[in-house]
Amino acid sequence: MAVVVVGSANLDYTVRVPRLPAPGETVLGAGLLTSHGGKGANQAVAARRAGAAVTFIGKRGADGPGEAIARRLAEEGIRTDGFLTDRAAPTGVAFIAVDPAGQNQIVVAPGANAALTVDDLRACGPLLRGGRVLLTQLETPLPTVREALRAGKASGMVTILNPAPAAAVAPEIFGAVDLLVPNEGEAALLADRPVGSVAEAEAAAGRLLGFGCKAVLVTLGSQGALLLRPGEARHFPAFPVEAVDATAAGDAFCGALAAALAEGRALEAAISFACAAGALTCTRRGAQESLPTRDAVLALLAAP
C-alpha cells in the first residue's frame, strides 16, 4: 500500500490575526507558531499517519531548516532518500495568517522547491516503481509535475494531482491524471467559471473532466466534496467540526485519500475517509502538527 509523494517542503510561520488583512493593511497578530509544512511534505505525513508506506521526493536547502525537515519526515517513518539537497537555494518558507474562523492567507517563498528538476526526478526513477499511488501538487516546477505524472502512469500507479496553489495549467497535463483534486478556487481558475455552490462545482468539474482526467473531486470546505466521473456525480457532505485553523486541511484530505486508495478502498470509501481527515485537521493549529492519525479518522467515521 505504498504512496509516492512528489512535492514541496517548507518551514512555516503561522500567526493568529483578528482578521485577514486587506491590500495595503497591516494587522497585528499574536501566537507565532513555527512548524514544518509544504504541500508535498504535508501530504506525505498525512498519508503516513493514515497508514500508508510513503516515499517522499522533493528538494531542500543545505541548511538547518532543511535538515530538520528531513529528520522529522524520517521520524514519521517516511522514506526520504529522494529528498534531495540543493547547495545553491535555501529551504522553502511559508508565511501564514489565520483568522478566528480558521480561514487563512498564505505566502510562499519556494526556495529549493523551485529547483526540483525533471533530471532530479528521473534520477529518482527507482523510487517511483513499486508504489500504488502517485500524489503531486503545483509547488514544484510544472515540467517536474508533468514528469512525475508520466512516470507514475508508466509504472501502473493511480495518479492524483492536487492543482495547488491555483495556477493556469496546460490542458494536456490532465491526460496523465486519474484523479484531479482541486478546491473551489482552483477548480474555478482551471475551468474558467465561478464555483460557489455544489451545482457550480459540478459544472466546473464537467469541464475539467473534458480535459482528459478520469475523475474530478472538488473539495468544498464546509460543503464537503463533489465527485464527478463519466456517468456519475456524487456529493459527500462534510463532517461538522469546530474549525480553529484550516491550514493543511486540503493536504490532510489528499494524503488520506491517497493512503485509502493504496490500501485498496473503493473511491467512495476513500473520499469519506479523506473528508474525515480534512475535518479533524481544522480542529488544531499548524500544518503537520494538525494532521490526524488513522485511529482518529476511523473514530470520527464511526461516530454517530
| Active-site residue list | 251
Beta strands in 7-120 (DSSP E): 10-16, 30-37, 53-61, 79-86, 92-98, 104-109
* Dist CA 204 CA 144 (whole Å): 26
- What are the cell numbers at 151? 512516470
* Dist CA 91 CA 222 (whole Å): 33
Counting Cβ atoms within 10 Å, is residue 283 exposed (0-12), middle (13-18) or buried (19+)? middle
Counting Cβ atoms within 10 Å, is residue 49 exposed (0-12), middle (13-18) or buried (19+)? buried
Backbone angles phi, psi at 268, to 5 degrees: -65, -45
- Alpha carbon 225 to its chain centroid, in Å, reads 15
